Amino acid sequence: MIIEHARQVLAIEAEAIQSLIPRINGQFTEAIKMILACRGRVIVTGMGKSGLIAKKIAATLASTGTPAFFLHPAEGIHGDLGMVTADDIVLALSNSGETTEVVRIIPAIKRIGAPIIAMCGCATSTMVKNAEAFLDVTVEREACPLGLAPTASTTAALAMGDALAVALLSERKFTPENFALFHPGGSLGRKLLLTVENVMHAGADNPVVTIDKTVKEALFVITDKGLGVTNIVDDEGCLLGIITDGDIRRGLERGYEFLDKTVDTIMTRTPRTITPDKLAAQALNMMEKNYPRPITVLPVVDGNNCSIGIIHLTDLLRQGVV
């Protein structure tokens, strides 16, 4: 019986969402046009469970390019209506369209001059009669067997809110870079906003050896900096190549005398490089796609090919780019 009841709840709520599809009509288009033309913000309001859904819709709108926030209707009648201006749009949620707290703020909203979009389950309600656009989220029945707890109705409202947000996102040509700007703490934000300059080892931390030095001296620099690599440069700091600890281990297999040779005898010439303005994610891509085998470090150079740093795979791991 437990499984049967749970499945029935999901079936009823899925049916509620499915029934919304034919209602994406001219009223929905009008709501989208109103929001796109809005010079202010979308004020989303609702009471109780509808209020919780309203908070989520406001958060989704705000994170996808439509400035929005939640207004508690009970607080609204005690001063918070001061947040609303004539340049804003009010998106009001109520399954019945007669929720006392929401209905009580409608006259004030009208006086302020903000248009109203009603997301409601009753086309003849007070809320709908005072709205410029009506988003019909009527459900045939609640998933609650008592028909009392908002279940299917709140699911339908949530889905309609997502439809609004995504349609607006598409109309605004909202990009992943825009999304990252609003989510700098998330992994996507780090991938799209973090540059090589933000994570590279530069200045005193940049391992550098001039072309006239020996392999032994290069080994000391590699050990000191702890990155497993050193840049090889000319007297003016231009990058000529790199030496890795792996290069030195392979050389030692041929004998210790190799340590007294100059670095140009074993260095990798013209290594793959990156500039500091590039995204850290691009550095990762270059490391992973390197042919014939992936690499773990990239020298960072300026416009004159002078060595200014090193970026290591572990730096990208620490920053959550990987």
Q: What is the mean pLDDT of residues 81-91?
A: 96
Q: Are residues 38 and 166 in the same domain?
A: yes
Q: What is the mean pLDDT of the chain?
A: 91
The tens digit of pLDDT for each residue in 16-33 reads: 999 999 999 999 999 999
Phi-psi region of 94 (alpha: psi -120 to 50; beta: other; left: phi over 0): beta
Any idea what DSSP says for residue 306? B
The tens digit of pLDDT for each residue in 199-257 reads: 999 999 999 999 999 999 999 999 999 999 999 999 999 999 999 988 888 888 877 78
The residue segments making up the domain with residue 214 are 196-318
CATH number at residue 282: 3.10.580.10
Q: Are residues 202 and 272 in the same domain?
A: yes
Q: Are residues 150 and 224 in the same domain?
A: no
Residue type, 155: T
CATH number at residue 104: 3.40.50.10490
Q: Where a domain ends, among 144, 174, 204? A: 174
Task: Record the pTM.
Answer: 0.67
Q: Are residues 122 and 155 in the same domain?
A: yes
Q: Are residues 296 and 209 in the same domain?
A: yes
User: Considering only 127-131, 175-179, 229-233, which range has the smallest mean pLDDT?
Assistant: 175-179
Nearest-angstrom CA–CA distance, 159 and 115: 22
Q: Which residue has the tokens 């470090």?
A: 297
Q: What is the mean pLDDT of residues 46-71?
A: 95
Q: Are residues 133 and 250 in the same domain?
A: no
Question: 69 or 195: whose pLDDT is higher?
Answer: 69
Query: Would the pLDDT of 76 be above 90?
Result: yes
Query: Would the pLDDT of 274 be above 80?
Result: yes
Q: Are residues 140 and 261 in the same domain?
A: no
Nearest-angstrom CA–CA distance, 100 and 106: 10
Query: Would the pLDDT of 155 be above 90?
Result: yes
Domain count, the chain: 2
Query: Would the pLDDT of 176 be above 90?
Result: no
> Angle 152-171/48-63 helices, nearest 10 degrees?
20
* Burial (CB count <10 Å: 0-12, 13-18, 19+), residue 214: middle
Q: Are residues 167 and 200 in the same domain?
A: no
Q: Work out the pLDDT band at 180, boundaries 50, 70, 90.
A: low
Q: Are residues 40 and 160 in the same domain?
A: yes
**Residue 302 counted as domain residue:** yes
Query: Would the pLDDT of 194 be above 90?
Result: no
Q: Which residue has the tokens 């989704």?
A: 60
Q: Are residues 159 and 207 in the same domain?
A: no
Q: Which helix (H) or strand (E) holds 193?
A: helix 187-193
Q: Are residues 155 and 200 in the same domain?
A: no
